[in-house]
Structure formats: C-alpha cells, structure tokens
Structure 1
C-alpha cells in the first residue's frame, strides 16, 4: 500500500537528479512519465483491505488504503502522465524548463496520491497543499504565456492563501470542539456544537476553492487563461479531483458525526451559486480556455449538487453520484483541452473561439474529437456520457427529495447548451484556406485516450458508477 506514495515522491527526486546529470529536455520528461504510469499501475495492482499506517491507540489511522485511495492514485498517475505528454511541444521548443515542469508535476501528483487515503484533518490539508503549491509556479513557467499569465498566477496564489486560511481556521475550530483530528471523531463535538458547526462551514467553503466553486472561484478564469494549456487542463481535472475528494471526506465525517443537515445546507448554497454564476458568465466569454474555465465553475456546481441532498436524507448514493459525475467530467474535460491543443499551433495559448472557425472541416478527425467532448459536456447525443452524468445527478437529488435543486440543475443544463454551442458552431463554419498544422503525437495520445474513454462510458456508463462506489 505504501508503494504508490514512495514511487510518486521518488519520481520527483529522480527527475531532479536526471535533469542535473543529463540536461536534455526529454530525459526528465521520460522519467516523469514512467514514474506517473508506475504510480497508476502499482495503485491498480496493490491489494485493498485493511491497509493502514500512522494509527493511534484508539485504532484510528491517518492513512487508509481502500477503494477510494486506489481510485484516486490511479487517476492522479494517469492525469499527470497526460499533462506531461501535452507539455511535449513546449518542452521541445524550450518555452518551458523541462526539469522544473516535470519535478513540479511529480510533486503535485504526490500530494494527490496521499490525499486519496487521508483520514485526518492535518493529513488532508497537507496533502492538498502539496498538490496545490507546485501549481502556482507551473502557471507562470512559460515564455510565451498569455499576457495575463503572471497576473493569473498571482491571483491564483493570493486566493489560495485566503482559502487555505479559511480551511485551517475551520479545522482548528473543529479540533477545539472535539479534541480530535482523525475522521470521523473530529466532528463529534464534546465542548460546543456551535464551534464545530462554524468550523464545518468554513472548511467546506475553503475547500470549495480547490474545485473553483463560488464564492472562491474568481481565480479560475484568469489562471486557466494565463497558464499553459496543459497546466490549465491539469487544474481542471487533477486539481479539481483533489478538491472533490477532500470535500467528500470531510462531508462524510460530518454526516457520521451527526452534522448532515448543516453540511448539506452549506453545499446546497455552494452548488446553486456555482451553477448559476458559472453558466451565465460562460455565455459571455470569447476566449476558448476562459469559456472552459467558467464552464468548470458551473461543473463544480453539478459535482456538489448531490451532496445538498444530505440536508434532507442521508444516503450513500449521494456521495457515489458526486464522485461518478467527477469521473464523467474529468474524461470530457481532458478531451476538450486536448482537442483545443491539437487544433492550435504548437505551444500556443487557447486563443479565441473565432480561431476554431472551420477547423472541424479542414481537420475532420481532430475537430470531431473536440466536438464530441463539447457535446458531452453539454449532455447531448451522440456523446451520451454527459447525459448519463446529468441523469445521475438528477436521480440522486430526486431520490433524496431535494426537488428544488433538481429543477435548478435541469434549468442550468438547458441554458448551458448555449455555452458549448458557440465553439461547436465555429468548428463547422466555412473551412479556412489553410489546414491547421499537424500536432505532436504526444498530444494525440491523451486526446485518443480521452475520446475512447468517453465513447466507452457512452456505451457502458455503469463502469464509472461501479468505480465511484462510496462506503
């Protein structure tokens, strides 16, 4: 069970050493990709059960390797490998320093691997910061970044400080009220219930930053648009996955501590605000990555929506629905970012929506993969993976009796069709004079995997639902 953690951390150290000895861009890249795939492979192979470390006399442990930990480790390994492959054009042309980029991504992967099995407040927060801290530098480490790249990195950094402070304050209040750090005992107050209630609300709000949920969402558009597109893809998939897992762990512990209603009510507010704000603002965006960023804010609302049902009834299916939607979303989001990169010049930014004009005709296969991802995010056929994702959310809310939020989700889904229609329509307008240049094979690989996974989930959505079971 400890091998995925050791391999992830060892990959970061190995990248540093190889970069010093062999100063070629492909050497640290090869080491980092191999280490990421090794993390995914070992995590999938490692036996589950009662594997625990850092246990107290009470029997509570800080790290538990169960189904959730294995799933998160596999996903972080694969997403890190895909982000590294998407970076190949920038590394080859010298637009980004290979050693530093690969080292920082390996460090972020290490935080994500630890996060999946974290079972106390301190380990969760440290793992989240280990995942997030490298991303500040990754956003800015690009010579030809967008004009707002530096300001996006600063916005990301300052907002993260506020969010971390809010999360730490909430954790401190929870610990003060219960005298415990391990989950779920930390949410069983022994001093005063108002303290733990305040701490819970602060923790969930602070953790909402990691998934770009309103009100701590303002960093996402400028950061995504200013960062290299592969890093924006990593922020929208791996970083969001880390935030979702942290929220699920804290919420699950709060429910077991008898705080289901305040947890559900807090998440209902975050989900509703994210759905409405993200969708409406996305309608007005002209830059491609910025549109995907605001769409990601709205998608955070979809992810958190099932957990709002905890205010009415406690059902494990609500956690499973949230995690399942996250899996659906990660596949489609990776396909969308990879598709944009495949149609853009090497190492270029995402550009504006008008830059996609006619590329679906002049580059039919690449345009079709991007169109498939956009249609899936909209929840339309033939990419039924997105439709199944939204049905999963609606069914969970209706079964929980949260009908008002189910209506909000349905209305936002309809309005959101216009968000994805704009870039989709540009793809199939009159073909441009010149065919776009061929992209690197390294970009085609994540694009092909994401498209194949989306196609598989369109036919067999139960695969994601089975992986997303929550105990």
Structure 2
C-alpha cells in the first residue's frame, strides 16, 4: 500500500496536464452523449473545443519548468515523460491543430449526419495520444502514444457510414498502419534485446558500446525497423501510398487533421528516436533520411502536378500529394541532424517549418470545407471564379497556397524554406539542397495554377451543386437541406477557423523570425 501511495505522490500531474485534460474531456463527451437529447448533441462539439483550448492553456505553467515524471528511482534523468521545451512546442502544435480541426468539424458533423458522440470522443482521444507522444522518453510509451493517436484516426476516416470511399480509405489506412506498427514493434523488441532497456537515454548509451558483434547486428536491425515504422507515420515515400485515398475518403476536417497533427506525431517520434535514442547510428540514419527526403518530395510534387483544374480532379487529392511533398521538406533538417555536430539547430528548422505548414495547410482545408458546402465533389474546377462568389475566402486560399509555395506575400513560407535549405547546406548536403530547390520550382506550378483558377471567371455550365458527392444521394440531400448555418452563409465556427489561420499566417509573414525564435526553444 505504501509503495502505491509513493507512486501516486511522485506523479507530476501538472506536467501530465495537456494529454490528461484532453483524455478526460473525451470521456466527458462520451458519457454526456448518452444523456443529451438529439437536439442538444451539437453542444458536444463546443465542449470538445473548450476542452482542447483548456489543454492548450495548461501548457503555460510548464514553460521553462523542465518537469519530468515516471522516473527511475535515483535517476532523475531517466524518465518516461519529460515536459521539456521540445515537448511543449510540439504539444502546442498538436493541440492548436486539433482545436482548428474541432472548429472545422462542428458544422461538418451536423451536415453529414456523422454520429456526434463517437466523432468527438475519437477526435479527442487521438489528440490525447498525439499530445502524449512528444513528451515520451521511452520506446514503450512512444509506441503506446503512437497507437492511441492512430487507432481513433482509423475510425474517424471511416465514420461516414454507407460511404464506399470512406470505408475503403479506412481499411487501407488501417491495414498499412498495422503493418508499419508490427515492423516498428519488431524493431523495438530487437533494441530491447540488444540494450536491455527501453529508456531512450539508456538505449543511446548502450548502443555506443555493445560488447558482442551479434548484439550490434541485432541493434542495427532494430534501428532500421523502428525508423521504417515512423517513416510510415510521416507519409515518407515509399510508405506514402495510403495518403491520397485516405484524405479523399475521410471527412474533410479529419483529412486536415491527419495532414497536420498526424505529421507532427510522426516527426516528433522520428526526432526522438534518432537524435535521443540512436545518436551513435547517425552515420546510418542520416544518409537514409536524406535519400528518403529527396524521394518523398519528388514523388509528392510529381503526383500533385497530375491534378488538373480543367478535369474532374479532386482538390483534396492535390492537398494530399502536396502534404507528401511537404513531408520531404520536413525530413531535410532531420537528415542534416545526422551530419551536424549540433543537431539541435537542425531540429529547430524542422519544428519551424512544421509550425508554418500547420497554420497554412489547415487554413487551406478550412476554405476547402467552405467550398464543399455548396460543391460537395470538391473538384479543382469548382474553385473557378471563387473570387466572384466569395472574395475574402478566395483571397485567404490564395494566400495559403502562396505560403505553401514560398512566394510573397506568403513570406512565412519563403522564410521556412530558406531555413530548411540552409540546414541542408550547413550540413554539407549540397546535393539534397539542389533536389529541394528543383522540387520547390516544380511545386510552384500547381500552387500557382490553383491560385489562378480562383480569380478566373466562372464557366457557364451546370451548377456544381448538382454534382453528387462521393457519399451518395443522402449526403447530397443533407448538403442541400436548409438550416440556420446555411441560411446565414458561412458557419461561425468555420469562419472563425479561416480567420484564425489567416491572421496567424499574416502575422507570421510580417515577423517570420518569431517562428524560428519559438522553434529554437524546441531543443532536446
């Protein structure tokens, strides 16, 4: 009994507050769903949104505190959970991204007839796992957090019941993710067998001096298999094949959530295992990540080029391929960390780029959600003449696309790309910097092509509202049905998400150094 009491007293609940609050609110939503009448179900969305805001605010007392918990007795530096600067920055990114996703979801859940309680419970559960992962400092907690973030996401992708595309997307996402998890678990078991520990700091120490060559071989296989598992979560090629179909089949807010929060989870895990767990294998994972970055950005941008606004190609599919290309850029500083004497600077470059990408990509998905209200097919052609119909939305989307392309007035996008480019050059990866420069030029074409479509005159054709969406006639009827939001134009939560993303993008473009200064605190 006394040992249990000692354990409870040693738990730092303040440090654990961000993922704990998110998980508790998820349970509150699930229980409240049992008692609320149908007419009051929308209240669950506002409870979830408030819970995510509260979880984000709980980060404030942790700034500069460096709290740790679940530590080995007598070893304060060997812990399972650390609320250090790196964890706090990624937790902020995750919770802010989930908050914007919640604002996008409030109207989508109602219009598409999604099960309200299940949706919000799953979203909050996934966000809780995503908030736990960057603070995890042992391989077991990393794997658990990764699965807590991923398993609810499978269900969210397939939550549109009766929708064939949604079911297929969820199945592909699930099967490929389970295979990647199995590979990663095999790698973790190899590492445990070779080093005798799961704590990242102890694994790092053990890998520097393995007494038996056979253990070194086992550890090398474990390192490779663990990296493969995290490469899948980051949508790095050739582990990216699930992305386009999953994004198209998922509800639009969930596609945006996966593109931002899902990537944050994958990249934070990849940073932790490489820089903290496997620094002695930098000569292995550094070149591997460099090749992975080059292939990923090339595959993503080349596939995005095939999405033609003059054909019935999906805007969400273009954003999906764009996210694969952006994942390649995010991998560049990680590869550079394998060559640098001080990998912390390279990590800061990845975090800075991730923050920029999160803001503008969720903003683009927010405008896509607005267009989907009247054009459910969400084709690129449906954006033709958007400036005539909704000038502010068109200007916002144009700004987001220019940020992703790295062109003025999207200064923050240009700044982030320069930071990543300089990380590659400083690490001596000149060939990777050249590949990145070529891919940035390629990406300009499809980003500018979509931007130009927004300001062209609308074609005289059958209204796009008549196009039946992938969800079938039931979804068309739901979208066409009158309602308080539809009569008022843009729903208030959706408008809030667009305004927040635009305001953040403009503010950061005016002072891009703030992103790097904020990200520079994310040092391990």
- Shorter chain as denominator, the TM-score bin is over 0.9
Aligned twin of 1:406:
433
8 Å Cα contact 2:126/2:152 also seen in 1? yes
TM-score computed with the length of structure 2 as normaliser = 0.86
Q: In the alignment, is residue 107 of structure 1 matched against residue 125 of structure 2?
A: yes
Q: Which deviates further from its counterpart, 217-226 or 433-442? A: 433-442
Asked if the contact 2:63–2:88 (Cα under 8 Å) also holds between the matched residues in 1, the reply is no
Alignment of 1:248-263 (within 5 A): 248-256=271-279, 258-263=280-285
Contact 2:71-2:79 at 8 Å conserved across structures: yes
C-alpha RMSD of matched pairs (Å): 1.9
Structure 2 unpaired stretches of 5+:
1-14, 308-312, 466-485
Deviation at 1:432, TM superposition (A): 5.6
Q: What's the counterpart of residue 26 of structure 2? A: 12
Give the structure 2 partner of residue 46 of structure 1: 62
CA contact (8 A) 1:44 1:74 kept: no
Larger relative contact order (Cα-Cα within 8 Å, sequence gap ≥ 6) = 2
TM superposition shift of 1:435: 12
- Measured in 1, the distance between the counterparts of 2:453 and 2:137 equals 47
Residue 474 of structure 2 is aligned to residue 456 of structure 1 = no
- Cα distance change of structure 1 residues 281 and 94 upon mapping to structure 2, 3 Å threshold: closer
Matched, 1:32 2:32: no
Q: Determine if contact 1:309/1:402 at 8 Å carries over to the other structure.
A: yes
- Checking the alignment, whether the CA contact within 8 Å between 2:305 and 2:445 is kept in structure 1 is yes
Q: Determine if contact 2:184/2:227 at 8 Å carries over to the other structure.
A: yes
1:130/1:148 CA distance change after superposition, 3 Å: same
Unpaired runs of 5+ in structure 1?
none
- Aligned residue number for residue 73 of structure 1: 91
CA distance in 1, matches of 2:384, 2:145: 42
The answer to which of 207-216 and 195-204 deviates more is 195-204
Residues 280, 406 of structure 1: CA spacing in aligned structure 2 closer, same or farther, 3 A cutoff?
A: same
Residue of structure 2 equivalent to 1:284: 306
In 1, the alpha carbon distance for the partners of 2:112 and 2:379 equals 24
Structure 1 residue 395, shift from structure 2 partner? 0.7
List aligned pairs for 1:286-435, cutoff 5 A.
286-315=313-342, 316-345=344-373, 349=376, 351-431=378-458
How far apart are the structure 1 equivalents of 2:291 and 2:305? Answer: 22
Deviation at 1:373, TM superposition (A): 0.5
Q: Is the 8 A contact 1:377 1:386 kept in 2?
A: yes
Verify the 8 A CA contact 1:229 1:349 in the aligned structure 2: no
Q: Given the two structures, how large is their TM-score scaled by the length of structure 1?
A: 0.95
The match for 2:264 among 230, 235, 241 is 241
1:238-289 CA-to-partner distances (Å, cap 9, x unmatched) read 1111111101111112454x22111211211211110111110111122100
Aligned 1:100-249 pairs, distance under 5 A: 100-143=118-161, 147-187=164-204, 188-189=206-207, 190=210, 191=212, 192-249=215-272
After TM superposition, give the deviation of residue 295 of structure 1 in Å. 0.7
Partner Cα separation in structure 2 for residue 428 and residue 143 of structure 1: 36
C-alpha distance after superposition, 1:92-139 (max 9, x if no partner)? 235211100000011011101211210000101100110010011101
